[in-house]
Chains A and B, each alone.
Chain A
Amino acid sequence: MPGLPGLVQTPSRAYPDAMRRLDPIPTPAEALALCERLYRDGEGLRLMRHLLPEGATDADALRLRNRLKRAQRRPSRCMAEQDEAPDRTDI
């Protein structure tokens, strides 16, 4: 099959090429500190709240994140039970 003109015929190498770093990778301590900052800052969850109805909280955003994560992974009932437990405080 000749394919359509203008369509990419082979898988793009853009993503793996972009993942190959040109600068030194962070040390474990630096990367750990960055993870900590991303977690404390909470920007990721705040951005996710835009996908939710008015008045949604960070807890709602985290619940959505967990659901999306689980939906894309091999299903685990015991993990789902943890994520959906009513007494969640893990934000």
Chain B
Amino acid sequence: MLNRALVAFLEHRRISHCLIGGLALAAWGVARYTAGADLLVMDPSVLESAWWSDWEGTSPRITRGDAEDPLGGVVRFPEPPRQDLILGRGAAARIALETSERREAFPCPVASPVGLMLLKLEAGSPQDAADILALLGNAASLDRPLMKAEVETRVPELTREARVFWTKVSAF
């Protein structure tokens, strides 16, 4: 489902990126339906149309987040399966990119379980809560018994909404 040409394009231009969303969950043993692939970046140059001039595929559709938006922008390749390049904002996105890891069967770095959980705390939906609980449920199998504690140490860096969400989710 992940477009390897897109990954190669980012690597060639030295844009740090990592897989997030439903496909990234699969890297940590959580398989569920997802409508496409989501890649996280923190470099705003991907929002410039000119930056894609050498891209040989169909031109992406680019939208920019305003000051209130939790995302900096989205570069979408709508052909199925949809590929979204998401320009992250804030601590959760920064940590997710910094702590991303290589995983078997994945052609690019994948957000770590902790990074994914921080992103999902910022997103804040019931599906995100279910994903967090599923990741925490896999902690022992992944030989990462300190997963929940690691999230706890990072939560103070998140937005107020994400901190409140963690209070609710971690009560389970």
Pairwise interchain contact B137-A73, C-beta atoms closer than 8 A: no
Pairwise interchain contact A82-B84, C-beta atoms closer than 8 A: yes
Q: How far is the CB of A83 from chain B (nearest CB, A)?
A: 9
- A4 to B106, alpha carbons, bound, how many Å? 52
Pairwise interchain contact A25-B133, C-beta atoms closer than 8 A: no
Q: Of the listed stretches B10-18, B60-68, B149-157, name the one at the interface; the rest are far from the partner chain.
A: B60-68
For the complex, count residues of B whose C-beta is within 8 A of A.
Answer: 54
Question: Which residue among A13, A31, A44 has the maximum number of chain B CB atoms within 10 Å of its CB?
Answer: A31
Closest to B73 in A: A78
- A29 to B172, alpha carbons, bound, how many Å? 29
Closest to B110 in A: A28
Which secondary structure dominates chain A's binding surface? helix
With A82-B76, A89-B80: A65-B1 Cβ-Cβ less than 8 Å: no
Pairwise interchain contact A38-B32, C-beta atoms closer than 8 A: yes
Chain A residues closer than 8 Å to B71, beta-carbon distance: 76, 78-79
Q: How far is the CB of A13 from chain B (nearest CB, A)?
A: 7
Q: How far is the CB of A3 from chain B (nearest CB, A)?
A: 18
Q: Within B29-84, which residues are at the interface with A (CB < 8 Å)?
A: 29-36, 61, 63-66, 68-71, 73-74, 76, 78-82, 84
Pairwise interchain contact B78-A90, C-beta atoms closer than 8 A: yes
Pairwise interchain contact A74-B123, C-beta atoms closer than 8 A: yes
Pairwise interchain contact B104-A21, C-beta atoms closer than 8 A: no
With A36-B1, A78-B73: A19-B134 Cβ-Cβ less than 8 Å: yes
A24, A27, A35, A91: the one contacting B104 at CB < 8 Å is: A27
Chain A residues closer than 8 Å to B128, beta-carbon distance: 73
Pairwise interchain contact A28-B26, C-beta atoms closer than 8 A: yes
For the complex, count residues of A whose C-beta is within 8 A of B.
Answer: 42
Pairwise interchain contact B125-A69, C-beta atoms closer than 8 A: yes
Pairwise interchain contact A21-B137, C-beta atoms closer than 8 A: yes
Pairwise interchain contact A28-B103, C-beta atoms closer than 8 A: yes
Binding site for A on B (CB under 8 A): 1, 22-23, 25-36, 61, 63-66, 68-71, 73-74, 76, 78-82, 84, 103-106, 122-128, 133-134, 136-138, 141-142, 161, 171-172
Beyond the given A11-B171, A76-B71, A89-B78, please list 15 additional residue pairs across the A-B interface where CB-CB is below 8 A: A16-B133, A21-B29, A25-B29, A29-B105, A31-B30, A35-B33, A35-B34, A38-B31, A38-B32, A76-B69, A77-B68, A78-B69, A79-B71, A88-B78, A90-B80
